[in-house]
């Protein structure tokens, strides 16, 4: 059986009654700390401010990009929770290179799975759902359909908060992928069967009549 040379040398020293030097311990500790777990994709966090003096693009702020598990958790632990955002503000997490807007080339033919939450759900469900959605995306939980995922948004509003997962293609040819993604969302977020989630095409959202938007799929 082949034994790692570093482990073997350390074992031999201990058997001889010699402990590793402080320099050796520090060297191994630093090496351990430097090891990070890469993600399959790089992701960018965006923040949308609610400042009516500015237009939408001026309110859109690119915060930071990351491509490792450790950098995600470092970011998540140092920013406000979604439930702590001011009303009218959003977080958006998208694959690097995709902007969180309908007009982006990666988004314009797609749509979003929409989860609506009442204000009383903000303190618990909103943060839990948002974290789980992010983990599903960066962990490529949607398996062979993960390439269809563009990103996700969380919108904090006075009447009802919303979480949306955006996909690249919403037409009939991609119905199987869209529905599979929706089912995975309900499964991972443990959303009750009585609480529907709906899929809306971006092009239908842009031409909505009042607050009514055409629903393509519902689960």
Which pLDDT score, from 0 to 100, does residue 25 have? 42
Give the range among 28-42, 70-84, 127-141 with minimum mean pLDDT. Answer: 28-42
pLDDT averaged over every residue in the chain: 87
The partner residues of 168 in beta bridges, in order of sequence, read: none
Which pLDDT score, from 0 to 100, does residue 23 have? 54
Query: End-to-end CA distance of the chain, in Å?
Result: 54
The partner residues of 153 in beta bridges, in order of sequence, read: 92, 164
pLDDT (tens digit, 9 = 90+) per residue, 61-117?
999 999 999 999 999 999 999 999 999 999 999 999 999 999 999 999 999 999 999
Taken as a whole, the chain contains a residue count of: 219
How many helices (H) and strands (E) the chain has is answered by 7, 8
Domain 41-218 has CATH 3.40.50.1390: no
Mode of pairing for the β-strands spanning 38-48 and 111-118: unpaired
What are the residue ranges spanned by the domains of the chain? 41-218
39 band by pLDDT with thresholds 50, 70 and 90? very high
The kind and range of the H/E element at 65 are strand 60-68
Give the range among 8-22, 71-85, 141-155, 180-194 with minimum mean pLDDT. Answer: 8-22
> Has residue 13 got a pLDDT over 70?
no
């Amino acid at each position: 059986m082949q034994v790692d040379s570093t482990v073997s040398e350390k074992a031999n020293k201990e058997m001889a009654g010699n402990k590793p030097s402080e320099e050796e311990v520090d060297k191994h500790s630093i090496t351990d700390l430097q090891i990070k777990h890469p993600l399959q994709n790089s992701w960018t966090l965006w923040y949308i401010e609610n400042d009516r003096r500015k237009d939408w693009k001026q309110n859109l702020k690119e915060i930071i990009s990351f491509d490792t598990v450790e950098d995600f958790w470092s970011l998540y632990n140092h920013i406000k929770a979604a439930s702590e955002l001011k009303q009218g503000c959003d977080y958006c997490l998208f694959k690097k290179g995709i902007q969180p807007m309908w007009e982006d080339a990666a988004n314009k033919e797609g749509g979003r799975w929409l989860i609506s939450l009442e204000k009383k759900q903000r303190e618990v469900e909103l943060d839990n759902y948002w974290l789980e959605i992010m983990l599903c995306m960066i962990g490529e939980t949607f398996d062979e359909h993960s390439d269809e995922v563009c990103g996700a948004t969380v919108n904090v509003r006075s009447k009802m908060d919303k979480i949306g997962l955006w996909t690249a293609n919403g037409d009939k040819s991609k119905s199987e992928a869209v529905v599979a993604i929706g089912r995975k969302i309900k499964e991972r977020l443990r959303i009750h069967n009585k609480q529907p989630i709906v899929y809306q095409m971006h092009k239908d959202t842009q031409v909505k009549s009042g607050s009514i938007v055409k629903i393509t799929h519902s689960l």
